[in-house]
Amino acid sequence: MRPYLLILITLIGLNKVLGQNPLVATDTLSQSKWVNELYDNMTLEEKIGQLFMVSISSNQNTEGIKDLIREHHIGGVIFSKGGPVRQANLTNAYQEVSKIPLLVGMDAEWGLSMRLDSTYAFPWNMTLGAISDNSVIEKVGHRIGLHAKRLGVHINFAPDIDINTNPKNPIIGNRSFGENREVVAEKGLAFMKGMESAGVLSSGKHFPGHGDTAVDSHHDLPIIPFSRERLDSLEMYPFRKLINEGLSSVMVAHLEVPSLELQKGLPSSLSEQIISGVLKEELGFKGLIFTDALNMKGVTSFGVEGEVELKAFIAGNDMLLMPKDILKAKQKLVEAYTKGRISENRLSFSVKKILMAKYKVGLHDYNPIALENLIDDLNATEDDLVYEEAIENAITIVKNRFDLLGIKNLQNKKIAYVKFGDSSNDAFIKTLNKYAAVTQVNGDDIETIKNRLSEYNLVIIGHHTSNESPWKAFEFSKQELSWLQEIANLRTSNLVLCTFAKTYALASIATFQNIDAVVVAYQNSDIAQQKTAEMLFGALPALGKLPVTAHSEFPSGTGILLKPLKRLGYSLPERVGLSSSGLAQIDLLVQNGLDSLMFPGAQVLVARKGKVVYSKSFGKPTYDSDNEVTDDDMYDLASVTKILATLPMVMKMEEEGKIALNDTFEELVPGYSDTEIKSVTVLKALSHYGRLPAWIPFYVQTLDKNRKPSREFYRNVPSPGFSVKVADNLYLTDAYNDSIYNRIGRQDLKSNRYRYSDVPYFVMKKYIEDTYNQRLDILADDFLYKKIGANFTSYNPLEKFSKNSIIPSEEDQYYRYQTVHGYVHDMGAAMQGGVGGHAGLFSNANDVAKIMQMYLQNGYYGGTEFFESRTVKKFNTCYFCDKHVRRGVGFDKPQLEKSGPTCGCVSRKSFGHSGFTGTYTWADPDEEIVYVFLSNRTYPTASNTLLVKSGLRTRIQQAIYDSILN
């Protein structure tokens, strides 16, 4: 388990950690003493050995490295490919044999995953460059620094502060923060501060600037042909900024820069004029200076083996990175010292800087790397939190014609999705379908695709390319470019293009004239796909700005800001102040329920502050099922129907003046004018204080003497006068609906106390349907479910969904004598054709949460105001608490005594409902928590009351509240 303290540090934005730089000396006397005493006792061989940092890959042959360390006293190692445990073991072994602790380096620009398996990949710099809030980038740098420190890495050769003004740059590209000097400087500085706050040395690269070239210095020597004025104002601008803020080190590139170095063809890494003249003297840099790798072809041709390293040192570099032949290079430096080409002052200047850096990172008090929990520590919850926040801040809208995004008015949308690219799109399509029904359309040719798209009015194209590294192919194929224009020309639909690739992918698109919205997500990670889908539907704002020019229509800085529509998003518990380990108790509780045979399966969802942070399905539809319950499976909600179907319509009517809380049953149903129930008011009835019976077993009177459905009332096939479908092969006489309401009218009122009752919802259903001259299921669907995106919420679900996606309710041996599967379990609702005011609704946990979140947000959700806030408050008020009636108007409320419908840990403002089949949902405005529990505890028999007796649903609720991080 992750310690709560670390989680809290992440939650508060690392405010107390960031800004403190442990690399800044507070004990300068101790540092100087350690450095000077160590240097004074070193041999010439040991001093010169400190200048070298050699390359090691933990997944390759490392034979001879220990001897190199022991006999030649090298100053450091730079790790490349491999795995973290292997690297940690090697580091420990190498440090043990090294007389002077080694400075360990890595190229980990976007985290250790740049080089190592089993480690975390953070967003690329280009993605970070789209973020306006630099504190987010600082957090990323800090997490990367913590990972490096945990693995015994003392210097991360990052940030890359090249300004990528050349879209065809083969080696920088996504490694750059952008093409604007201010953006690159700001983001680079934030990254540097974050990483150094973790106690890891930074390194600005590649000086004097590698961003405007189409040549890879790994293979050849790039030429930077610009004037000194241009270099000062652009390429070197970020270096100057970071140097002034205490940049730890600089890596010098292998570049030919004629305006800075007169000798034709001389790489900047070997240029005394560039390193000692410009970097040290003009820019005033006093930190460590590293060469870029000296085995790169951009520099290897400048002298016989060993000569290049000597030239690099004489030019002003301190550490010689990845020499091609270290023994020959060391020999050349020893000879040069002996012959006076290298003075003692020059040597001590660099070696003491190296030793001082080692002191800063704690090597004067070295401890081996602890291997326990290493992989877990390098893949922590905090990393996901920071990654998620970064992506949310980076996603950029560059076009949004007609204010198409965030997508509103879902009732009018029929949405298709078309996949481009050769990489995964699973997370994107899965998240899209959490908001609306989105159909993936495929085809081998464009005509087939166009024909299939003709029935949709909104098309989303996702361009998905590899997320493995910044150098992977990112372009649209020629076929995709052609198909894109063909689809764009289908003016029967709106078109949204989302590219999960390098920004420059957009450059190949000829025109965006008929593309209505364009979104740049920068990367194809699962989180980037998920967050883009959330943003499309307004669960997130759009905050990003292009860090580079993506197209002539979309210059650097383009970014259309978008406010959220307050739809549910999806995140991690710690993001909203809950503990993952605390919520893991839900798994144990539900498993206990399964093991105790309380129910065959269940769905549980927890949302807080507008984000779903726990959503899991458990068990099977029945004890004998082969399949597991999935998140899309639908449960019979039973009485939860009251607050998700009937109550919304009553609230709507109250706002429209079609009903009032003091209206009586006589006013609603004139036929009740001569009955005892005529004086019952809407307020008392829906507060369960109307003196009405709990329920009426209407079905009993329709059974024959064998307690089977009577031929008088039922037929096995639909026939004239028998069209009310109760279950498979069971049709009730149409006339019986009047009998239901007549029987309600004949009821005597009970004693004047709290009594939960289904009866008012029969009356409400009749009044709603009579008022609007339409069935309740159609009204609720049109008013609420379609608009809110509750696509898995329905009465009579078999009319819309496969039976396999509906959870069975019971093996009925008393009325229908069959498996109740896809039909409402409640007998009274079944006798009304599956559409009851008190029961009949089917849904999944995600859809229930949407409606409860709407209530929690005072009637607003997804760009639609379903109710005025005063209406929600009116119906969520306990009017008869002084009479020991806890209920609101329709909503259940927390208990007034010790026991009741909740854990006792919720606020008085909270509300919800439970259902006979084993369902439960509750919302708490004070803690902004929505909780949904769905099960079929009635399967195979409703006599199974173990769930109710156990209090499992409220024990889960208690676990949720216990998970709140204070």
Catalytic residues: 218, 292
Length of the chain counted residue by residue = 966
Contacts of 795 (CB under 8 A, 6+ apart): 645, 776, 777, 780, 824, 834, 835, 840, 841, 842
Place of tokens 């790489």: 267
DSSP assignment of 882-945 equals GGT----SSSB---SSSSSSS-S-S-TT-EEEEETTTEEEEEETTTTEEEEEEE-TTSS-TT--
In degrees, to the nearest 5, what angle opens at C-alpha 324 toward C-alphas 211 and 363? 80
**Could you give the CA distance from residue 927 to residue 905 in angstroms, rounded to a whole number?**
11
Edge-first strand listing for the sheet containing 714-715: 714-715, 730-732, 724-727
Between the two ends of the chain, the Cα-to-Cα distance in Å is 18
Q: Three-state SS for 204?
A: strand
DSSP assignment of 443-468 equals -SSHHHHHHHHTT-SEEEEEEE---S
**Could you give the CA distance from residue 934 to residue 477 in angstroms, rounded to a whole number?**
46
Torsion of CA 851, 856, 859, 863, to 10 degrees: -80
Query: 586 and 960 in contact (C-beta within 8 Å)?
Result: yes
User: Residue 937: which of 920, 923, 954 has the closest Cα?
Assistant: 920
Place of tokens 């498993």: 591
Radius of gyration of the chain (CA): 35
Q: Which two tokens stand for residue 16?
A: 């107390």
Structure letter (DSSP) for residue 424: -
Q: Which two tokens stand for residue 491?
A: 């003016």
Q: Which two tokens stand for residue 749?
A: 């009122």
Check whether the bond before 206 is cis (ω within 30° of 0). yes
Torsion of CA 248, 254, 256, 261, to 10 degrees: 50
User: Residue 238: which of 198, 277, 192 has the closest Cα?
Assistant: 192
Query: 918 and 935 in contact (C-beta within 8 Å)?
Result: yes
Query: 781 and 799 in contact (C-beta within 8 Å)?
Result: no
User: In which element (H, E) is residue 635 found?
Assistant: strand 635-636
DSSP assignment of 358-381 equals HHHTTGGG--PPP-TTHHHHTS-H
Q: Phi and psi of 350, rounded to 5°? A: -75, -45
Query: 195 and 133 in contact (C-beta within 8 Å)?
Result: no
Structure letter (DSSP) for residue 627: S
Query: 453 and 487 in contact (C-beta within 8 Å)?
Result: yes
DSSP assignment of 816-855 equals S-SEE-SS-SSHHHHTTTT--SSS-EEE-HHHHHHHHHHH
- Cβ count near 265 (within 10 Å): 11
**Could you give the CA distance from residue 617 to residue 603 in angstroms, rounded to a whole number?**
4
Q: Three-state SS for 46?
A: helix
Q: Phi and psi of 920, rounded to 5°? A: -165, 135
- Cβ count near 223 (within 10 Å): 13
**Could you give the CA distance from residue 678 to residue 662 in angstroms, rounded to a whole number?**
12
Q: Which two tokens stand for residue 880?
A: 């008869």
